[in-house]
Chains A and B, each alone.
Chain A
Amino acid sequence: MNTFSFICIFLIVLSGAYIFGHRYALSSVKNSTELHSLPSYHGFYVAIWFAFPALIVLVFWYFIEPIIIKSILLESIRTTAFLGSTTPDLLLNDIKNLATNSFALKSASAVKLELVNRYLELKSLGIYLKIVILFSIGMLGIFIARKKLSPKMRARQSVERVFTLVLGVCSIIAILTTIGIVLSLLFESIRFFNKVSPAEFLFGLHWSPQTALRSDQIGASGAFGAVPIFAGTLLITLIAMIVAIPIGLLSAIYMAEYASPKFRNWIKPTLEILAGVPTVVYGFFAALTVAPVIRGFGESMGLSVASESALAAGLVMGVMIIPFISSLSDDIINAVPQSLRDGSYAMGATKSETIKKVVLPAALPGIAGSILLAVSRAIGETMIVVMAAGLAAKLTANPLEAVTTVTVQIVTLLVGDQEFDSPKTLAAFALGLVLFVVTLILNIVALIIVRKYREKYD
């Protein structure tokens, strides 16, 4: 039985429970005004009594089933005394893999075949057992609900309490996500820092995470000094900001102060398209269109330009960032009270003088906030740099050379198959932690600044 039909049956029984409650409520009274709650609440009441115990059992089963199957299989492994040189755990994994791979199964030994069959048997038995237990618990729930149903019962209050609870749980998922991010990053990073000291990671100047297979090879231990990566990230972010801040800010000023409302209504969403283009598209654009142009241009001037130069990635990232600055700054400039402008005009200042000497200073904190948000966006941007920036960690300030960034390293360290406890993969989580903390601080500071600013003029 697959998941889909399981869900269907579950839903059918669920609606059956609802109808049962609904009918029961109506049939227990002559006239529906005698009921405390509407009949539909009685229906929901029964349905909830069915669904909740069943779902709890399901979750419980999800955790308990592998443990039971494992212990039974281990028992049979012990009785057949088939172990050879492998440990029971390895054998168990082997069997699980064989069970899903019919091709490899053909060449498996007879003893293993028997174990695989046993495993599959247990699995299907487990499924049937699960369904039986789940539905009998659910039926028990319906039975209890049926006992509790009566015309006087406050069904609406109970149902609404459960609904509100479910809504509350939904809002907690956002918190759980944050906690999940923090814990998973912290947990893996701590494992990493057990192998590599934090000081080396944060201040080391040499990064080469490729650990050698044999201990006598060069670079056997790998080097995890992340300074070149941080420097590369900063270089690309800097280039992006050099592009995005002037263009974004000037666009925002024009939109807020000069443009007619019609033009502004049209141009603002158009600029925001730049932020909506998927980053993989920018990456492709940077790698295949911008980088060759820069390279060709640089070489015609006699400069040596790496084919994956920081400049190409930074320029394109800057274009992507423009709307983050222009839209937010536009809102912020608009929020500057008109009285400040009027005061300045009354003193005889021209429009541009008013903007430069009055509006911008007044809007500065908000603009700073929008720039910080843009910086955090640039630091966390992945695809453009994965496709257009290099892999080699080099400590350089030359934008024509290839540099690497935090996000590039995370991707290259984690894509593909790898064991999960080598420093190489764990290093990605340490980098992720740094990325998370830095962007979090930038965001919080930016949000505080923007909020303070809004309060000032509201």
Chain B
Amino acid sequence: MINPMPKSIDRGPNLSAERFVKRYRSEKYFKYLGLFAIGIALSMLIVLTSSIIFKGHSAFWQTHIAIDVQITSEDVASISNANFRGITRTSIRSEFPEVKSRRDKKQLYKLFSNGISFEIKEYFFKNKIQSGGIYRVWVKASADIDMLRKGFINRDLEETNRRISDKQLKWYDQLDQEGRIEKKFNVTFFTAADSREPEQAGILGALVGSILTLFITLILSFPIGVGAAIYLEEFAKKNYWSDLIEVNINNLAAVPSIVFGLLGLAVLLNWFGMPRSAPIAGGAVLALMTLPTIIISSRSALKAVPPSIREAALGMGASRLQTMLHHVVPLAMPGMLTGAIIGMAQALGETAPLLMMGMVAFIVDVPGNLTDAATVLPVQIFLWADAPERAFVERTSAAIMVLLLFLVTMNLVAILLRKHFERRW
């Protein structure tokens, strides 16, 4: 190519072909760099969710073992008085008559969950069995056997390095050959509260705790947030005071959540004497935390209602409050609800302030009312993540899946609500 510029006047742009190639190459690189960055961020999202699903899917199945329970007709007649612990143990022993020593028996019992006598009792109670005899009952295996079944315990390790002894392995194989070990859907995970034994632990307690807490959060923050938004948007005179409130709300939205926890601890628990660990106290803190979100979104929803609506109502002789409550607020309601749902989703995933409010207690009961000690789903995840047993890892991931499912649903509802009611004025 001919360079039109004489070399001696080297002032003008360098229009050489190499430079063009270089510039266009860097143009391309820059574009791909941006795409690459988005790719990294997306792949992080994929890695995160897939690692959770990969770790957690197995928790929805629980290994069960069938045992032949021998029961006398007297025991059947009076189920509530029968010694099911004894019945269970004799039934287990009779399957393995060669087990004699105390230590071996203890190991044998450890194949099963330590709550199986209750399971067996319930089996007889539920099926209304009237006569004695031998019944085959599927009961939960212990967490270690469960892990073995799911392939998380390496059989080739030396005996001292694994949680299951050689003898237990032998018994397990024997049962397995007889087709008496099966994985069944883990109902307990959805119907039980927390437990020290992984196979008996469930998320129901935490789920109910979350619902109670969110209920308090919603009934406190939604009316107050909407009220504040209406006042600030429609009634407050624009002056120093309203500026202050506005700046204050924006800052409050960015205060770290744990600081709200400190506020709750110092003011709600220690000063007002609210009950520790209770949904009512936790919900109140979350309400303060989500308030800015709701106020901000409600204000933008109110702003989106065109002034012509207000003018028409005022022109027809409505008072300012009537204009607001009868015309503007109903039109802004979908937007406000969307904001509220997003705020609730935020509150549902929040952990740190609730740690401060004492909702980290180990609670084996499903909370019944707003002042019972309770825990919430994210805190349950936090607690299980700390537990050393391998079986809790999959349960933690499964609980995360449930939590994410709730969050996705809430956000989808918000999006649909917005789509459905979105109006171009």
Verify B381–A284 contact, CB threshold 8 A. yes
- Specify which chain B residues have a CB less than 8 angstroms from the CB of A283 in the assembled complex: 382, 385
Q: Which of A30-58 contact B (CB under 8 A)?
A: none
Cα of A142 to Cα of B382 in the assembled complex, Å = 52
Of B141-149, B330-338, B400-408, the one with at least 4 CB within 8 A of chain A:
B400-408
Interface size on B, residues (CB 8 A): 84
B250 at the interface (CB under 8 A from A): yes
- Asked whether, in the complex, the Cβ of A174 is within 8 Å of the Cβ of B48, the reply is no
Which residue of the partner chain, among A181, A255, A356, contacts B255 with CB atoms under 8 Å?
A181
Inter-subunit contact A382/B352 (CB<8 Å): yes
- Interface-forming stretch among A14-22, A119-127, A216-224, A266-274? A266-274
Determine, out of A79-87, A108-116, A427-435, the stretch whose residues face the partner at the interface.
A427-435
Task: Tell me, rounded to whole Å, the shortest Cβ–Cβ distance linking A52 to chain B.
Answer: 16
CB of B378 within 8 A of chain A?
yes
Instruction: Verify if A254 is at the interface (C-beta below 8 Å from B).
Output: yes
**B45 close to A429 (CB less than 8 A):** no
Bound together, the chains give a CA A88 to CA B37 distance in angstroms of 67
B407:A276 contact, CB within 8 angstroms: yes
Do the beta carbons of B45 and A270 come within 8 Å of each other? yes
**What are the residues of chain A within 8 A of B31 when measuring CB–CB?**
254, 258, 351-352
A174-B295 in contact (CB<8A): yes
B356 interface contact, C-beta 8 A: yes
Query: Does A392 have its Cβ within 8 Å of any Cβ on chain B?
Result: no
A181 touches B263 (CB 8 A): yes
Given A160-B321, A247-B41, A435-B259; A166-B227 close (CB under 8 Å): yes
| B286 interface residue per 8 A CB criterion | no
Q: Does B51 contact A (CB under 8 A)?
A: yes
Contacts of A178 on B, CB cut-off 8 Å?
Answer: 248, 251-252
Also in contact, A164 and B251, with CB within 8 A (given A415-B360, A432-B262): no
In contact, A167 and B231 (Cβ under 8 angstroms): yes
Are A436 and B259 in contact, with the CB atoms below 8 A? Answer: yes
B288 beta carbon closer than 8 Å to chain A: yes
Cβ contacts under 8 Å, A307 to chain B: none
Q: Quick check: A415 and B45 within 8 Å, CB to CB?
A: no
Most chain A C-beta atoms within 10 Å of own C-beta, residue among B38, B227, B267, B288: B38
The stretch of A132-140, A197-205, A206-214, A439-447 in contact with B is: A439-447
Q: Is A103 an interface residue (CB 8 A)?
A: no
A393 within 8 Å of B (CB atoms): no
B288 near A177: Cβ-Cβ < 8 Å:
yes
In this complex, what residue of B is CB-closest to A287? Answer: B385
**Cα-based distance from A271 to B45 in the complex (angstroms):** 8
- Residues B30-47 near A (CB distance < 8 A): 30-31, 33-38, 40-42, 44-45
Q: Does A92 contact B (CB under 8 A)?
A: no
* Complex: A121 Cα to B247 Cα, angstroms: 50
In this complex, what residue of B is CB-closest to A380? B256
When distances are taken between beta carbons in the complex, the residues of chain A under 8 Å from B37 are 246-251, 254
Whether B111 is near chain A, meaning CB under 8 Å from some CB there, is: no
Which listed segment binds B: A69-77, A295-303, A406-414?
A406-414
Contact of A280 among B24, B48, B252, B349 (CB under 8 A): B349
Q: Which residues of B contact A249 (CB under 8 A)?
A: 37
Q: Let me know if A185 and B393 touch, CB within 8 A.
A: no
Q: Is the CB of A185 within 8 A of B228?
A: no
Q: What's the Cα separation between A443 and B259 when bound, in Å?
A: 15
A67 → chain B closest CB, angstroms: 13
The reply to whether B258 and A435 form a contact with Cβ atoms under 8 Å apart is: yes
Residue among B52, B224, B248 making CB contact with A170, cutoff 8 Å: B224
In the complex, which residues of chain B have a beta carbon less than 8 angstroms from the beta carbon of A281?
48, 52, 349, 381, 400, 403-404
How far is it, in angstroms, between the C-alpha of A450 and the C-alpha of B363 when the chains are bound? 46
A282 to B44, CA, bound (A): 11
- A136-166 contact mask (Cβ, 8 Å, vs B): 1 or 0: 0000000000000000000010001001101
B169 in the interface (beta carbon within 8 A) = no
Contact of A271 among B42, B231, B265 (CB under 8 A): B42
B396 within 8 A of A: yes
Residue among A163, A173, A278, A436 making CB contact with B321, cutoff 8 Å: A163
Does A387 interact with chain B (Cβ within 8 Å)?
yes
**A278/B13 in contact, CB under 8 A:** no
Closest to B393 in A: A288
The digit string for A347-391, where 1 denotes a CB below 8 A from any CB of B, is 010111101100000000000000001001101111100110000
Distance between Cα atoms of A350 and B40 in the complex (Å): 26
Are B251 and A440 in touch, CB under 8 angstroms?
A: yes
Q: Which residue of A lies closest to B254 (CB)?
A: A443
A250 x B36 contact (CB < 8 A): yes
A35: shortest Cβ distance to chain B, in Å? 15
Chain A residues with Cβ below 8 Å from B260 are 181
CB of A73, distance to nearest CB on chain B (Å): 17
CA A445 to CA B226, docked complex, whole Å: 28
- The answer to whether A279 touches B262 (Cβ under 8 A) is no
A295 to B381, CA, bound (A): 23
Residue among A175, A248, A280, A287 with most chain B CB within 10 A: A280
- Verify B385–A278 contact, CB threshold 8 A: no
Chain B residue nearest to A285 (CB atoms) is B48
- Cβ-neighbour of A167 out of B40, B227, B252 (below 8 A): B227
Q: How far is the CA of A439 from the CA of B35 in the complex (A)?
A: 32
Are A180 and B263 within 8 A (Cβ)?
A: yes
Contacts of A287 in B (CB 8 A): 385
Q: Which of B27, B38, B224, B319 contacts A350 (CB 8 A)?
A: B27
Taking the nearest CB of chain A, how far is it from the CB of B218, in angstroms?
A: 15
Q: Does A398 contact B (CB under 8 A)?
A: no
Chain B, 203-240, contact with A by CB distance < 8 Å: what is the 0/1 string? 00000000000000000000111111011100110000
The reply to whether the CB of B245 lies closer than 8 angstroms to some CB of chain A is yes
Contacting residue for A444 out of B251, B351, B397, CB 8 A: B251
Interfacial chain A residues near B400, Cβ < 8 Å: 280-281, 284
Contacts of A373 in B (CB 8 A): 254
Query: A289 at interface (Cβ–Cβ under 8 A)?
Result: yes
CA A170 to CA B41, docked complex, whole Å = 40
A-facing mask of B362-385, CB < 8 A → 1, else 0?
Answer: 000000000000000011011001
> Are A174's CB and B228's CB within 8 A?
yes
A408 to B382, CA, bound (A): 14
Contact check, A164 vs B288: say whether CB atoms are below 8 A apart. no
Contacting residue for A173 out of B291, B345, B396, B397, CB 8 A: B291
1/0 contact trace for B256-300 toward A, CB 8 Å? Answer: 111110110111001000000000000000001001100100000
Residues of B within 8 Å of A185, CB to CB, are 259, 262-263, 266
13 A-B pairs within 8 Å (CB atoms) are namely A160-B321, A164-B321, A178-B251, A250-B33, A251-B37, A251-B38, A281-B349, A284-B400, A289-B51, A319-B44, A382-B352, A420-B270, A447-B247
A interface residues with partner B (beta carbon < 8 Å): 156, 160, 163-164, 166-175, 177-178, 180-181, 184-185, 187-188, 246-251, 253-255, 257-258, 267, 270-271, 273-274, 276-285, 287-289, 319, 322-323, 326, 348, 350-353, 355-356, 373, 376-377, 379-383, 386-387, 407, 410-411, 414-415, 420, 428-429, 432, 435-436, 439-440, 443-444, 447
7 residue pairs, one from A and one from B, having the closest CB atoms: A380-B256, A254-B34, A278-B349, A170-B227, A250-B37, A184-B266, A352-B30
Q: Other than A178-B248, A414-B265, give 14 A-B pairs with Cβ distance below 8 A.
A: A168-B236, A170-B225, A172-B245, A175-B244, A247-B41, A270-B45, A273-B45, A277-B48, A278-B351, A280-B382, A284-B396, A387-B382, A435-B258, A435-B259
